[in-house]
Structure formats: structure tokens, C-alpha cells
Amino acid sequence: MQHDPSPYDALLLVSFGGPEAPEEVVPFLENVTRGRGIPRERLVEVGEHYFHFGGKSPINDRNREFLAAIREDLAGNGLDLPVYWGNRNWGPYIGEALEQMVADGVKRAAVFFTSVYSSYSSCRQYRENLADALAGLPEGTTLELDVLRRSFNHPGFIDAMVDATLAAVADLPDAQRESAHLSFVTHSIPTAMNDASGPEGGAYDLQHRSVMEEIVERVRLETGHRFRHQLVYCSRSGAPHVPWLEPDVNDHLAQLAEHGTPAVVAIPIGFVSDHMEVVWDLDTEAAATAEKLGLTYVRAATAGIDPRFVAMVRELLLERAAVERGIPTARPAEGGLPACWDRCAPDCCRNLQQGDRPTVGGLR
């Protein structure tokens, strides 16, 4: 393992952002959906999820915990790197983080997105946000940003999710354990967005399936039982006539109940911490659906601040630092897909609605 962070003199954590008070909910939703063609009814419905939790999204607090854990991990490993944080849709915004970095004299930073898969929403849109924020800096500012590779198959994420799954499986009633179903859950996206994800298309779904298969196999090695499993989706949005990835987790639960499955473990592989989708779509809505159907329902933990997931950010930064210095380095990855590319191809995860916009972190 390399321990030299150069050429980086900082780390920037980039996330989605969320409202923290009732009066922030509507402006936040307007930020999220600007130019994205989301029907008014869906916005009202999603607004209710936030109001249900007092107008406060959990995401910023989860990111504050993650930041604190990353800082501790870096310091504990003798790395004296400042860590900044900026969001796409709510303060602290990416632009504010960049201004602070410039004021502090940062020249080149590694950037980690709190979303580990390829798609427009989960990767390229953040790369556009970085380009917009850079363009907003005063003329003549030099700040270079390198986006760390998609980390869905990094051992730090996989190992945390394997243990979360094992813990959830252990929580099942003994009599139901082996007939339980593992339901891997992620954020739905339009099928067209999935078709355009990654350099060759379909990467969003493919990456999730490789994570699922790896976890199922690791759980088999640990328990001796290969569980039935499926990839399902939550948080479908958009107009009704636009196809999104399916099945929805609630429809899936109804199917399981119909086929006599007694218990289900929901494994939120699409979310790195307990975002609104986890506390609403899974812990509130899907849990209620399961209860109505008479299904035992256990939700596995998200990666959150699992020390291995936290260490992953440092490991990715050091790995990329070595790459940028031209030093051969290991690129750990688990499951059927190789470690992801460092720089995205020009047509990776294209913006289908607004066309190509400037990005950061692409091939030059």
C-alpha cells in the first residue's frame, strides 16, 4: 500500500444534499428537478416524505458523520490532508467548497462521490456539477479535480455489505432463515438512463448485479446456504409513460408473499448510508407493505461509517495518487467486473435530456 498522497493536497467529498428544515423542502425539490421533467404530483408526494420526518433529510447528518470518520482515518494513517464537502442540491454547495479550497491554497484534489455506481444521476451529473462550480471560480484560479473511480466493487464496500447482510440474515427467525429471500434494493432510474450508463451502456444494472452476485456467494461461503435473491428498485419517479427499471420493491414483496416466501432481507446496495430512500422507501413504506402481506422483513445496514468503507476512500485516493505519479499499484475489486476506469470516456453516462455539457474527470 502506497502512503504518499501527492499530487493531491486535499480530498473533496461530493454528495446529493438534502433539506434540514420544513421551509427548505420545496426549494430543495426545485433544485433537484430543475430541467428533469418530473410531474408536480410526484414532487408533492416526495415532499410528504420529507415532511413526515419534520422537513429534515437524514443525508447531511450521515455525511457529517462520514466526514468525521474520514478525517479520523486519514489522521490515524499519518495523512495530513484537509477534507472538504459540497453538495449538488443543497448547502453546503460544491461551489462553496471550491471557494474555500482556493482560499486555503489547494491546488489539486481527489474527489469522492457518495454514490458508487455509473449512471448520469450517480456519476456524470456530479462531474457536470464540478465543471459548473469550477467555471464559477474567479478567472485565473488553478484548481485541479480528479474524480476517484466508481467503487461499487471495491472490497471496502463489498465487505461492509457482506457483513451487513450476514447480520440481517442472523436476525431472521431460525425457522424462516433458509427460505428467506434476499432482496437487493437500489434507486430506480429510467431504462434509457441505464441503457446510456457507462462507456458501453447498461453499466448501472450490470454493476449492481455484480455486487449482488458477489454478496450472495460470500454469504453462501459463510452460511453454507445459497439464498434466493433478486435486484429490485425503489423511488421510481418521472412521468408514468416513461419506463424505469423494475420491479418496484413493493410489487416484488407482493410477488414473494404470493409464492409463499415467509421472510425477506432488504439489502440497500444502491445507497451508501441511510438516506431518505432508506428511511422512507425501505424502513417505512416497504416495511409496511411486508407487514400487510404477513412477511417477516429485516433491512440490512448501509455501509455508512463501517471502518472498511471509510478506509476505502483513503485507499482510493492513495491508489489514484500512485497512478498519477506513474507508479504501478494494485486496483482491488471483488466480483465479476474489473476495477473501474479512472477517467470516463466522452460518451460515458450521457445526459439524455440536456445533451453534452462540460464535465470534470473525463479522458483528455
Ligand X SMILES: CC1=C(CCC(=O)O)c2cc3nc(cc4[nH]c(cc5[nH]c(cc1n2)c(C)c5CCC(=O)O)c(CCC(=O)O)c4C)C(CCC(=O)O)=C3C
Q: Which residues are annotated as a binding site?
A: 57, 126, 187, 277
Residues 132-191 that bind ligand X (CB under 6 A): 187, 189
Q: Of the candidates 63, 87, 121, 151, which one interacts with ligand X according to CB under 6 A? A: 121
Sorted by sequence, the CB contacts under 8 Å of residue 169 that are 6+ apart come out as 177, 180, 182, 219, 223, 227, 265, 298
Binding-site residues for Fe(2+) sit at 187, 277
Return the range that interacts with ligand X (CB under 6 A); candidates 31-39, 133-141, 166-174, 331-339.
31-39
User: Could you tell me the smallest distance in angstroms from the CB atom of residue 91 to ligand X?
Assistant: 13
**CB neighbourhood size of 336 (10 A):** 14
Q: Do 240 and 225 touch, CB atoms closer than 8 A?
A: no
Q: Verify binding: residue 52, ligand X, rule CB under 6 A.
A: no
Return the range that interacts with ligand X (CB under 6 A); candidates 113-121, 164-172, 255-263, 284-292.
113-121
User: Could you tell me the smallest distance in angstroms from the CB atom of residue 103 to ligand X?
Assistant: 27
Q: How many residues bind ligand X (CB under 6 A)?
A: 25
User: Could you tell me the smallest distance in angstroms from the CB atom of residue 22 to ligand X?
Assistant: 14
Q: Do 229 and 207 touch, CB atoms closer than 8 A?
A: no
User: Could you tell me the smallest distance in angstroms from the CB atom of residue 295 to ligand X?
Assistant: 25
CA distances from 193 to 244, 331, 339, 352 (A): 9, 27, 22, 7
Q: Do 274 and 62 touch, CB atoms closer than 8 A?
A: yes
Give the integer Cα–Cα distance in Å for 237 and 247.
13
Question: Which three cell numbers mark 232?
Answer: 429490485
Binding-site residues for Fe-coproporphyrin III sit at 57, 126
Q: Do 244 and 192 touch, CB atoms closer than 8 A?
A: no
Q: Verify binding: residue 119, ligand X, rule CB under 6 A.
A: yes
Residues 270-309 that bind ligand X (CB under 6 A): 275-277
Residue (36 or 52) nearer to ligand X, CB: 36
